[in-house]
Structure 1
Amino acid sequence: MSSLKPGVDQVMQCSSASGGSCDKNGPGHVLRPLQERIAAATASKWSDGIVSSVSGGWIGVTLVNSGDTAWVWTHSIPASLAPGQPVALHTLYSTLAFGPERLSVLIAAAL
């Protein structure tokens, strides 16, 4: 990722790389209940997209409205998330929705 926002590398570091459970609750790690509720309550901030790439924690989302690719990182990508799948990205509260699932994501590339 060549266009990472400042501080992204530090946010991505957590203890789970050594096999333990993650000790962080920032973007891309744990979806907090309040984050999920306020994302659901602010429907105008969701952007529809299609997953274009899934690799090493990174998810490329091609946004339907603009055709731009948003790169997001999450600590643990579910096996059910695959290229070609429709998703919605909440750009204000850093949440990725696909089907009934919601993930906290770190939006790494400027939108």
Structure 2
Amino acid sequence: MSHREPHTRTEPNPGTVMGMRGCRAAGECRSERPGHRLHAMQERLAGATASKWVDAIIVEVTEDGFATVAEFASDRVRRVWHHDAFAGAIVPGAPVAVHDVYGVLAHGDRRFSVAPA
């Protein structure tokens, strides 16, 4: 019978859960995982599938990149995350569109990759 070592206690790290493994500064991040830099193909596919955009309004944005989004056409409220906290461009009350398939949040001419939170 083998000897089993107990697991060490883990500390909560919400950034790791959201895909920030190895990322410390948003400006230096080159990751194209959801919620990081918008991949060109992701942006192109989202633009080509216009029927999957959902109009919404920003309810809340936190400094750590979480945004609460309320859809216009339904009672659905969702939370999304972006590594750079939307570069300060998204504020409560801002009209946005969220792509249901490709994880893109649009505000005016700006596009952000988002991860479901």
Provide the TM-score with structure 2 as the length reference. Answer: 0.78
Q: Which runs of 5+ in 1 are unaligned?
A: 1-7
Q: Which has the higher contact order (CA 8 A, sep 6+)?
A: 1
**Match for 2:44: what amino acid?**
R
CA deviation map 1:66-103 (0-9, x unaligned):
12211000001221210000000001000000000000
| Counterpart amino acid of residue 34 in structure 2 | P
SS at match of 1:82: coil
Aligned Cα RMSD in Å? 1.9
Deviates more, 1:65-74 or 1:35-44: 65-74
Measured at CA, do residues 15 and 47 of structure 1 come closer, stay the same or move farther in structure 2, by a change above 3 Å?
Answer: same
How far is the alpha carbon of 1:41 from its aligned partner? 0.4
Tell me the amino acid that sits aligned with residue 32 of structure 1: H
Q: Paired residue for 1:27?
A: 34
CA 26–65 in structure 1, closer or farther in 2 if over 3 Å, else same: same
Identical positions, percent? 39
| Count of residue pairs the alignment pairs up | 101
Structural mapping, 1:37-56, within 5 Å:
37-55=44-62, 56=64
1:16 Cα offset (Å): 3.2
The structure with more radius of gyration? 2
2:9 alignment partner in structure 1:
none
TM-score, scaled relative to structure 1: 0.82
The corresponding residue for 1:14 is: 21
Distance 1:94 1:70 in 2: 12
